[in-house]
Amino acid sequence: MKKKTLKIGSLFCGCGGSDLGALGGFKYINTNYKKLPTQISYALDIDQKAINTYNHNFKHPAVVGSVTDVKLIDIPDFDILIGGFPCQSFSTVNPTKNPFDDRGQLYKDMAKILKKKQPKAFIAENVKGLMVLKKGEIFRSVLKEFELQGYRLSFQLLNSANYGIPQRRQRVFIVGIRNDINKTYKFPSPSFNESPDNNQKNWVPLKHVIKSLVPDDEKYYFSKRAVEGMKNAKKNMKRGLWQDLDKTCLTITSHLAKVSLNSRDPVLLVNPEKELYRRFTPQEAASIQSFPESFEFVGSEADAYRQIGNAIPPVLMWNVMKQLLETLNENVVQKENKQELAEA
């Protein structure tokens, strides 16, 4: 029996990492991530530059706008809502940020749309810090808000490295299925696991996406002054977090264009004797985030770095979405088929 194609509504879509994963039909590190029975019916983001990239890569155009200001009547119906609501307010790196600012309230706008549209399910994503800030108070508020809209929730902290991505990126996913469907979502089992002796042999190493330590353009090297600054910095600031190509990478962030050797961001050590360090190229950063090589970023390199760092890794979303579709197919599609037979 042919599976029904489910429509996707995408909030905070950015450049489209989540949407690419929700659709499938791409290749990454010699693995084909099959096309899923989905289509995008609506996509929204406030960042015009990210939308430029999105519309360059997808058939269905995204629109520029704020989720707070969008009129519900202008949003077409959909079966599944996805969205990585902005996470800057929930960062544990900068504890001085106010978690209750306007950006920290955007999950309520997502909940408002859930209440009105009542899709079969939704997938929300955010940083690990959301779960622990204010001793979990904020996270409990988010869960309650989604539950009140009529959804049975499942949540789990997922590590991208466990799903074939050469990056140790931990993000919390919240998946809700409408109560009347009477089904509980179970997260996909990891396809890759960190080995017991912690040498990461079972994770995909960085060398699968970094083709050469030596960059094509010297502009990616850090200056001698930057290297000396790292060496002379206070001990608590010394970073120089160069990545071993035989292991996975630290989390790719949105500010790689301005990365320094004294930051928490990952870098590459090209030549230890000459003390040559460099940052990742945009293409390398995109590959670490599991974007296929066919995905093209529009705008400046700084724009690309920001869009890449803010994105949900497509391969990770594909795994989460595939599991959700299989869960819904067991109930929703069969239920609809029975209804069609009854009407006949």
| Structural contact between residues 294 and 172, judged by C-beta atoms closer than 8 angstroms | no
DSSP element (H, E) containing 313: none
In the set 13, 15, 87, 249, the catalytic residue is 87
In the numeric block, which tokens belong to residue 249?
């990478």
The letter for the amino acid at 169 is R
What does residue 233 show for φ and ψ, rounded to 5 degrees? Answer: -70, 160
The Cα 8–Cα 299 span in angstroms is 27
The Cα 338–Cα 230 span in angstroms is 66
Quickly list DSSP for 37-72.
SEEEEEEEES-HHHHHHHHHH-SSPPEE--TTT--G
- Residue 300: DSSP 8-state: -
Please report how the helices 48-57 and 301-310 are oriented relative to each other, as an axis angle in degrees rounded to 10. 80
Quickly list DSSP for 212-240.
-SS-SSGGGBPPHHHHHHHHHS-TTT---
The half-sphere exposure of 111 on its side-chain side, counting CA atoms within 13 A, is: 17
The gap between the terminal CA atoms of the chain, to the nearest Å, is: 17
| Structural contact between residues 46 and 79, judged by C-beta atoms closer than 8 angstroms | no
Q: Is 249 a catalytic residue?
A: no
Among all residues, which ones are annotated catalytic?
Answer: 87
